[in-house]
């Protein structure tokens, strides 16, 4: 898909997308709200009882960006960027800010590109346990979404667009097109299974013609598993949090449920998240 066509149909991102979902990372990883904002917006927020403000997004030092068309050269670029930021990210592990996971992260702002390359990059992201972010005002469409699914944790404050994956080559016959369609769907079906993503997302992609883009809303991002945590990674993180606090996973889940109910009356989003974290981590 061309940049020109994509820019003409981009929706506008609102702060409501972030308020509603992105900082569930606070409870998932038991990190601070400041760290979460730094990941999603590329800036340290100013928190007060009156709300939240932040500077314009700037990419943190341990995060690299995938932008423009995704092709075979992007694979080498991603690996090079990961290596260049690996040592710095490791030195920042546990510190306040966007590098607290101790590994590089990736921002995605791309109109898409080659499907096979997108799959290869997604597999690399999963191999390295990378957090993938579509930051505020960014747009991740077509094959970019396929790459995004490789992140073990996927924060979406920007916009997600889907359509039917296709091969740019010219077909000589209907059977040739059928073979290509089957090959792409087999590749993506296997990839989605590896990434623990429901087949229903692939079905929704196939329902949109290649010359159109369906922009998803926040609920759809979550329902299709585009935003959120890989289940296996979530279980591993829950085990770490429970061990650090000195409780079982059952108790951790009970505390989370109780915290959500107890802190629901908090007026401001940041106060509610901090309230929940205090309850979860209480001795």
Domains and CATH numbers, the chain: 3-280 (3.90.226.10)
87 versus 195: the higher-pLDDT residue is 195
Instruction: Assign 99 a pLDDT band (cuts: 50, 70, 90).
Output: low
Least confident of 7-21, 59-73, 114-128: 7-21
Backbone dihedral angles phi then psi of residue 198, each to the nearest 5 degrees: -65, 145
Which burial class, exposed, middle or buried, applies to 48 when counting CB atoms under 10 A from its CB (0-12, 13-18, 19+)?
A: exposed
Cα separation of 78 and 66, whole Å?
8
Say if CB 55 and CB 43 are below 8 A apart: yes
- Number of other CB atoms surrounding residue 28 within 10 Å: 18
Residue 82 has pLDDT above 50, yes or no: yes
Sheet order of strands, 105-109 included: 63-67, 105-109, 131-134, 153-156, 228-229
**Pair of tokens at residue 197:** 């993503």
Cα separation of 186 and 183, whole Å?
5
Q: Which residues have CB under 8 Å from 66's CB, separation 6+?
A: 74, 77, 78, 106, 107, 108, 109, 110, 121, 144, 147
Give the per-residue pLDDT at 58.
64
Give the per-residue pLDDT at 267.
80
Give the per-residue pLDDT at 207.
98
Give the per-residue pLDDT at 97.
56
**Strand 153-156, strand 131-134: pairing:** parallel
Give the per-residue pLDDT at 237.
87
Cα separation of 63 and 104, whole Å?
5
Give the per-residue pLDDT at 266.
84
- Using one digit for the tens of pLDDT, what is the confidence trace for 222-261? 999 999 999 999 999 899 989 999 999 999 999 999 999 9
- Using one digit for the tens of pLDDT, what is the confidence trace for 48-81? 333 433 334 567 788 899 999 999 999 999 999 9
- Provide mean pLDDT across the span 186-210: 97
Instruction: Assign 1 a pLDDT band (cuts: 50, 70, 90).
Output: very low
Q: What percent of the chain has pLDDT over 90?
A: 59
Say if CB 104 and CB 39 are below 8 A apart: no
Cα separation of 123 and 76, whole Å?
13
């Amino acid at each position: 898909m061309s940049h020109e066509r994509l820019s003409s149909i981009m929706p506008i991102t609102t702060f409501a997308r972030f308020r509603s979902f992105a900082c569930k990372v606070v409870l998932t990883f038991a990190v601070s709200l400041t760290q979460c904002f730094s990941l999603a917006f590329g800036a340290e927020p100013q928190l007060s009882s009156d709300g939240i403000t932040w500077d314009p997004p700037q990419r943190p030092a341990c995060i690299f960006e995938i932008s423009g068309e995704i092709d075979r050269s992007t694979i080498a670029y991603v690996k090079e960027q990961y290596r260049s930021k690996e040592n710095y990210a490791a030195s920042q592990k546990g510190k306040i800010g966007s590098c607290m996971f101790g590994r590089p992260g990736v921002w995605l702002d791309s109109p898409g590109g080659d499907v096979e390359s997108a799959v290869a990059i997604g597999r690399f992201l999963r191999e390295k346990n990378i957090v993938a972010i579509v930051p505020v005002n960014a747009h991740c469409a077509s094959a970019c979404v396929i790459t995004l699914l490789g992140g073990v944790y996927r924060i979406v404050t920007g916009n997600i667009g889907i359509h039917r994956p296709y091969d740019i080559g010219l077909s000589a016959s209907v059977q040739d097109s059928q073979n290509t369609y089957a090959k792409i769907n087999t590749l993506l079906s296997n990839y989605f299974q590896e990434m623990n993503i429901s087949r229903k997302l692939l079905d929704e992609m196939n329902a949109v013609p290649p010359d159109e883009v369906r922009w998803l809303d926040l609920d759809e991002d979550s329902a299709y598993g585009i935003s959120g945590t890989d289940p296996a990674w979530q279980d591993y993180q829950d085990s770490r949090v429970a061990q650090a606090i000195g409780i079982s996973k059952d108790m951790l889940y009970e505390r989370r449920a109780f915290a959500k109910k107890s802190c629901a009356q908090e007026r401001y989003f940041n106060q509610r998240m901090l309230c929940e974290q205090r309850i979860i981590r209480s001795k």
